[in-house]
Amino acid sequence: QMQLVESGGGLVQPGGSLRLSCAASGLKFYTVGWYRQAPERQRALVADIAPGGGADYADFVQGRFAISRDNANDTVYLQMDKLKVEETAVYYCNARSISGFSDWGQGIQVTVSS
């Protein structure tokens, strides 16, 4: 287990921004994904980033969210701009390797509401 620690969630108004962080020792060696799960919905991939920095995004966040990583500090960030009410969810960090290892953070609540 890696003990992934998420931070940066909270309450934001529609159109606002938040930056989530995911930190863990050794995270620099893993592909890291941010997922979200709304009540009664399946968990869905938002964005992920490879150890070298290559990133992929779900279509629904293209142009609004940006994933990045600071390998020196074993931290991955998700900058979320122009947030929508329907993006209220618990956001989870996942670390995985090509060998099949996978670990999840505990999740962090993001609430978009006026």
Residues 18-65: tens digit of each pLDDT: 999 999 999 999 999 999 999 999 999 999 999 999 999 999 998 999
CB 20, CB 78: distance < 8 Å:
yes
d(CA 96, CA 30): 6
Q: What is the mean pLDDT of residues 69-76?
A: 97
| Euclidean distance between the first and the last CA atom of the chain, given in angstroms as a whole number | 38
- Residue listed under structure tokens 């329907």: 86
Tokens at residue 52, please? 């070298």
